[in-house]
Structure 1
């Protein structure tokens, strides 16, 4: 058996154009474990982006705490892809890397804060609410956006009050994620009112997020706003409203959805029959699903919707149309 290749020769192969050679070198360095950590840390300072990303990837696989601080230093790198690779490596290292991530979130440097706040939810530690709330005071809208996103994903204590403030932010990206986050964590009346207002936000991105959130929350108080979106011209918002109505599951939505089915193209009709399948219960739904099952462009969606109904009649129709 030949002697193992020296570590410095393996690190020299990081970042080269030959993809197969790079891959083999990375995995060989992973196998070398702690013996490769110091040489890999040196490679984090390379000028070549691919070399830095390869080294960060291997360090994440090795999971050695010695790499935490050097990886954190990459949060200041000019390359977004390098910063993301470093953050993912820190996630692999695990809980020992959390204090360093928190420090970056509090650093006051927007570049470092943005990457830390984006990845902090992946540590699944809901005790860092104060860190996230502090970031909401940043002058950088993307720092605020990432903090709002993290608040929703982690469902930290006192989240709703902060999100209700964030949904009034001057920047649409912050408002958008505030709406998504409220949909994830809250069925409180105040949150619903804020989302209903956001359905008419000046930004279509915020409108979309609010529609999705109302559907996720299953709020029947949103029905009239969603019916209005069914009659609108924006196809993306219209489809979002259809899906939200399906999630809410109110039979009051059946008639407006059938009207949309009768006037829509195959794309919108497919979305409507899926929503009707989630609502279920109404006799007229079966007539629409039979019509859809007989239509080539909507057939598959209709069969899936019948499966969602899961009734004796629906099962017989599936057998009939799947023959």
Structure 2
């Protein structure tokens, strides 16, 4: 039954009708139908920018088993005339951790005219995890766009080493954006500055709802990727601040509780070691 459904969706991909193709791509991703990858690769050549974008996104979810052909095809898409498509291809290369894309992604971060694409490139360099991208990420900390600097700061924490800590502090002192400062503090914490968590929590205690939302995402990321060794020892203090945050911003309660739950799991696992 499932194979029949997948085959029908693949037929829709070849229909030439963008609405049918977009629906089919979404459904194929939900069904984890990696057998559709060859057909999806063809859609990267669609005349419809929305379909090229959707196909690039789908390949990020389904392309792992055909990583070389998918990776090369996505790299070719990085010169697409539409910024949405370039951004989607960049994101998928990061999801697939396709390391041969690093040079092309660095070039986008330094040279692309679209902030959306540069932000995707900054994020993807963190996903690729190659320390050779450090100089490019440092350059991106001078980008005029706040989102680009935020993603670059996050990626510095993912690919850097503790010797980067003084440079991160310099960035904090010269940065006007509170969101970027928060990302830089999280990067410092990842790289071993245990005091950075206290500064992060002070930020959170005084944040408005928009900044608090950003900071919840930052805390969630710290729990999900390159987890700092000290986060379990800081868990109680983090949870205390999160519980207070919920009283100020009830709409953030679900997000806050999901972080508290993940911290509880990490703490339980550390106690079992």
The TM-score range, normalised by the shorter chain, is: 0.5 to 0.7
Assess if the C-alpha contact under 8 Å between 2:40 and 2:59 holds in 1.
Answer: no
- Which residue, out of 147, 159, 166, partners 1:185? 159
Gaps of 5+ in 1: 1-23, 272-299, 312-323
Q: Tell me how far apart the structure 2 counterparts of residues 115 and 194 of structure 1 sit (CA, whole Å).
A: 31
1:1-323 aligned at under 5 Å gives the runs 27-30=3-6, 32=7, 39-43=11-15, 45-48=17-20, 49-51=22-24, 53-54=26-27, 60-63=33-36, 65-71=38-44, 73=46, 76-77=49-50, 84-85=57-58, 87-91=60-64, 93-136=66-109, 137-156=111-130, 158-189=132-163, 191-200=164-173, 201-219=175-193, 223=195, 227=198, 234-235=206-207, 236=212, 247=228, 249=230, 267-268=240-241
Q: Tell me how far apart the structure 2 counterparts of residues 43 and 78 of structure 1 sit (CA, whole Å).
A: 12
Q: Tell me how far apart the structure 2 counterparts of residues 228 and 38 of structure 1 sit (CA, whole Å).
A: 51
Greater relative contact order (Cα 8 A, min sep 6): structure 1 or 2? Answer: 2
Q: Tell me how far apart the structure 1 counterparts of residues 266 and 58 of structure 2 sit (CA, whole Å).
A: 41
Assess if the C-alpha contact under 8 Å between 1:43 and 1:52 holds in 2.
Answer: no
Q: Quote how far apart the aligned CAs of 1:112 are.
A: 1.5
Q: Tell me how far apart the structure 2 counterparts of residues 40 and 160 of structure 1 sit (CA, whole Å).
A: 43
Assess if the C-alpha contact under 8 Å between 1:180 and 1:210 holds in 2.
Answer: yes
Larger Cα-atom Rg: 1
Assess if the C-alpha contact under 8 Å between 1:105 and 1:116 holds in 2.
Answer: yes
Assess if the C-alpha contact under 8 Å between 1:76 and 1:112 holds in 2.
Answer: yes
Q: Quote how far apart the aligned CAs of 1:62 are.
A: 2.0
Q: Tell me how far apart the structure 2 counterparts of residues 234 and 62 of structure 1 sit (CA, whole Å).
A: 49
Q: Tell me how far apart the structure 2 counterparts of residues 85 and 304 of structure 1 sit (CA, whole Å).
A: 31
Q: Quote how far apart the aligned CAs of 1:131 are.
A: 0.7
Q: Quote how far apart the aligned CAs of 1:269 are.
A: 8.1
Aligned with 2:41: secondary structure? Answer: helix
Number of equivalences: 240
Gaps of 5+ in 2: 245-260
Q: Quote how far apart the aligned CAs of 1:195 are.
A: 2.1
Structure 2 counterpart of 1:285? none
Q: Quote how far apart the aligned CAs of 1:27 are.
A: 4.4
Q: Quote how far apart the aligned CAs of 1:92 are.
A: 6.1
Q: Tell me how far apart the structure 1 counterparts of residues 45 and 32 of structure 2 sit (CA, whole Å).
A: 12
Aligned with 1:177: secondary structure? Answer: helix
